[in-house]
Chains A and B, each alone.
Chain A
Amino acid sequence: METELCLSLDAENRSEYENFEDEEEIKLFLNETKRRNKCSEIEKFLETDFTEDPDYLNKLRSFSLSEGGLVNDKIRKQVWPKLLGIRPENLEPYPSEIEFESHVEFSQVVLDVNRSIKRFPPGIPYNQRLAMQDQLIRLILRVIMKHPQLQYYQGYHDVAITFLLVVGENMAFHIMEKLSTVHLKHFMEATMEKTAELLDYIFPLMEHVHPELCSYIEKGEVGSMFCLPWFLTWYSHTLNKYENVVRLYDYFLASEPLIPLYLVPVIVIYRQDAIFAVECEMSSLHQELSQLPDNLPFDRLLKEARDLYNKYPPQDIEKEAIMRRVKLKALQEEQINRKNYSNKTTNRSPSRRNWTFMQRIVPDWFFPYGRLGLLIFSASFIVGLYAYYRYANNCDGFNQ
């Protein structure tokens, strides 16, 4: 990558480059140059009129997917709606204040939005932040009012705030509306069951790429809940750095809806050393797996997620996930049965203890018949006793 960068540098930059002493500084400079070049390339492209021509959209997508994504928020503001095919002139009727406040989810949304201060840029003036929080509440409620089948979930506000910060209230509403009916629709169903099923895809995916890591995590019985906030909020709930969040959003908006899910196993595999270092036990594993360090090489990981998607598309993985679920359920049932059986046999009441003693000394073939076996056993014992008695009596007779 760096050789490619060096080649692309012109003579003027090269002389500048020689002035640097620190390697880190050179890297930063190269990145900055590359960023600037990409920025002017996209801006130039955006000067042409927007059409829904596939080539035009493909070009926008390739900008979003390639290294560095859409570079800055000024470009994002223009490109994000286009990636979803949203026309800026779409205008919607605006509900009244009373309509907002009487909505069943109103207080829940207010609670969550009021607690989302961490997601606003640091240093934002207090009044401006309050105004934006009001906008956020309204835009969320507008979507769920327009689509009553969609249920709000905690974390939805983390997605909405990202769009509010970049494209403003009205366009954020259109984007959220589109995403809620496509990308986020399973999260907004009445229950989270489908979401939990989707999360289970990570295990067959990990097994294909790194079976040892997969069995280590499965052995710890940690489940997939560690990545629930990643998936539900497109990582924005967990990531600390704003630039990482928007970079991921560039990629996800230009991709298939399940790409955020495919990124999970890629991140886990990338962090395998840290994961293998913790003991194979649920809580330790959960704690380690749920970490999302700021310095992850997202460009590289996103590309790997895309390769994984192409190699193991969702329709194949779904079947594998179902098979695994069936197997796991059978295994759990077997464990429960075994536990119940051992509870029965180790029951400490004295009669039971005698019974297990009997089992040890009496041949097995008696027991499949249960009480019948016992009957046959006692009958043959009595017959034997009678025969002995007769024999003993007869002997006495002879002696006499």
Chain B
Amino acid sequence: MMSNIINNSSLQSNESFDFIFKIVLIGDCSTGKSCIVERFRNGTYNEPQPATVGVDFSIKTVCMHGKTIKLQIWDTAGMERFRTVTQSYYRSANGVIIVYDTTKRATFLNVQKWIDEARRNTGSNVLLFLVGTKCDLEDEREVELSEAEEMRDYIPEIMFVLETSAKENKNIDDVFFCLAEELKKKHDQMAILENAEEDRPVNISESKPISQCALICD
């Protein structure tokens, strides 16, 4: 995980930033992955988005608690056939957003499959977010928020559940801000752990009872 977080100093970029995180969006076809990215990146909504062939990339810089965070967003094709060629793009991900369509139950039922996919192809430290889309279409809803929350409670890897609407710009920024915040927290924790490891404190359980005592006599 640590090696995936590239600190500013190691890159010769013109833009300055404090952190850079790699986020990958996965999920069934036509769940709205590209719409989420479009809304977050440009603040626009274009319906319909053409099918993604392979993988699309975009970048967005956000500011949080006085720190500049650069988010690299990889938007993958939902089609199963592309998985063999897109897998290599998950490998160094810091965060994965698994997307389902709240108006199509089948896409929610496939979430488990996508979690397995993320488990197989990413590091153990990756953060998983579950995002439901098209929540403005209340009449067509087929998945309740409570079901997604149940899934979060049941599957420990899922950190967060959020319902969104790219059309009405609902919760889109929150998804990325929350993820960025969590990633930053995780990064800080890891840094503390690393430092702690360096100046290792005395571990009481490792001490042994003294069986012999040397007397110093003059």
CB of B72 closer than 8 Å to a CB of A: yes
> How far apart are B143's CB and chain A's nearest CB, in angstroms?
18
Contact among B11, B72, B81 with A153 in the assembled complex (CB-CB below 8 Å): B81
- Contact (Cβ within 8 A) A225 B11: no
- Contact (Cβ within 8 A) A154 B48: no
Chain B residues with CB under 8 Å of A157's CB are 51
> How far apart are B153's CB and chain A's nearest CB, in angstroms?
32
- Most chain A CB within 10 A, of B30, B50, B86, is at B50
> How far apart are A372's CB and chain B's nearest CB, in angstroms?
30
CB of A118 closer than 8 Å to a CB of B: yes
Contacts known (A111-B30, A115-B48); A229 close to B12, Cβ less than 8 A: no
A151 and B197 alpha carbons, distance in the complex (Å) = 53
How many chain A residues sit at the interface, stated as a range, is 20 to 34
Contacts known (A115-B49, A279-B13); A196 close to B81, Cβ less than 8 A: no
Residues of chain A from 142 to 177 with CB closer than 8 A to chain B in the complex: 151, 153-155, 157-158
Contacts known (A192-B81, A283-B57, A348-B200); A237 close to B86, Cβ less than 8 A: no
Q: Chain B, 53-70, contact with A by CB distance < 8 Å: what is the 0/1 string?
A: 111111100000000000
CB of B52 closer than 8 Å to a CB of A: yes
Minimum CB distance partner of A196 in chain B: B85
Contacts known (A153-B79, A192-B81, A287-B57); A223 close to B49, Cβ less than 8 A: no
Chain A residues with CB under 8 Å of B50's CB are 115-116, 118-119, 237
Contacts known (A115-B30, A115-B48, A229-B53); A283 close to B82, Cβ less than 8 A: no
Contacts known (A115-B48, A237-B50, A283-B59); A225 close to B81, Cβ less than 8 A: no
CB of B99 closer than 8 Å to a CB of A: no
Chain A residues with CB under 8 Å of B8's CB are none
- Contact (Cβ within 8 A) B55 A225: yes
Q: Considering only CB atoms and an 8 Å cut-off, how many residues of chain B contact the other chain?
A: 30
Chain A residues with CB under 8 Å of B13's CB are 279
Minimum CB distance partner of A339 in chain B: B3
A116 and B49 alpha carbons, distance in the complex (Å) = 8
Chain B residues with CB under 8 Å of A196's CB are 84-85
> How far apart are B190's CB and chain A's nearest CB, in angstroms?
15
Chain B residues with CB under 8 Å of A115's CB are 30, 48-51
> How far apart are A118's CB and chain B's nearest CB, in angstroms?
6
CB of B88 closer than 8 Å to a CB of A: yes
Chain A residues with CB under 8 Å of B89's CB are 225
Chain B residues with CB under 8 Å of A191's CB are 81, 84
CB of A73 closer than 8 Å to a CB of B: no
Chain A residues with CB under 8 Å of B72's CB are 283
A196 and B29 alpha carbons, distance in the complex (Å) = 21
Q: Chain A, 109-124, contact with B by CB distance < 8 Å: what is the 0/1 string?
A: 0011011111100000
> How far apart are A152's CB and chain B's nearest CB, in angstroms?
8
Minimum CB distance partner of A348 in chain B: B197
Q: Chain A, 219-245, contact with B by CB distance < 8 Å: what is the 0/1 string?
A: 000010100110011000100000000
CB of A290 closer than 8 Å to a CB of B: yes
* Total A-B Cβ pairs within 8 A: 77
Chain A residues with CB under 8 Å of B55's CB are 225, 228
Chain B residues with CB under 8 Å of A286's CB are 57
A348 and B11 alpha carbons, distance in the complex (Å) = 29
Contact among A116, A225, A279 with B54 in the assembled complex (CB-CB below 8 Å): A225
CB of A281 closer than 8 Å to a CB of B: yes
A236 and B9 alpha carbons, distance in the complex (Å) = 40
Chain A residues with CB under 8 Å of B22's CB are 283
Contacts known (A108-B79, A154-B79, A281-B11); A228 close to B85, Cβ less than 8 A: yes
CB of A135 closer than 8 Å to a CB of B: no
- Most chain A CB within 10 A, of B48, B54, B77, is at B54
Residues of chain B from 149 to 168 with CB closer than 8 A to chain A in the complex: none
- Contact (Cβ within 8 A) B53 A193: no
Chain A residues with CB under 8 Å of B30's CB are 111, 115
- Most chain B CB within 10 A, of A191, A192, A279, is at A192
Q: Chain B, 159-202, contact with A by CB distance < 8 Å: what is the 0/1 string?
A: 00000000000000000000000000000000000000100100
CB of A195 closer than 8 Å to a CB of B: yes
Chain B residues with CB under 8 Å of A154's CB are 29, 51-53, 77, 79, 81-82
Known: A112-B51, A153-B81. 18 other contacts (CB 8 A): A115-B48, A115-B49, A118-B50, A119-B50, A151-B81, A191-B81, A192-B85, A195-B85, A196-B85, A225-B55, A225-B85, A228-B85, A229-B54, A232-B54, A287-B58, A287-B59, A290-B56, A348-B200
Enumerate 14 A-B pairs (CB-CB under 8 Å) in ascending A order. Answer: A115-B48, A153-B81, A154-B52, A154-B82, A157-B51, A191-B81, A191-B84, A195-B85, A196-B85, A225-B85, A228-B55, A229-B53, A237-B53, A287-B59
Q: Hey, which bits of chain B sit against chain A, CB under 8 A?
A: 11-13, 22, 29-30, 48-59, 72, 77, 79, 81-82, 84-86, 88-89, 197, 200
Q: Hey, which bits of chain A sit against chain B, CB under 8 A?
A: 108, 111-112, 114-119, 151, 153-155, 157-158, 191-193, 195-196, 223, 225, 228-229, 232-233, 237, 279, 281, 283, 286-287, 290, 348
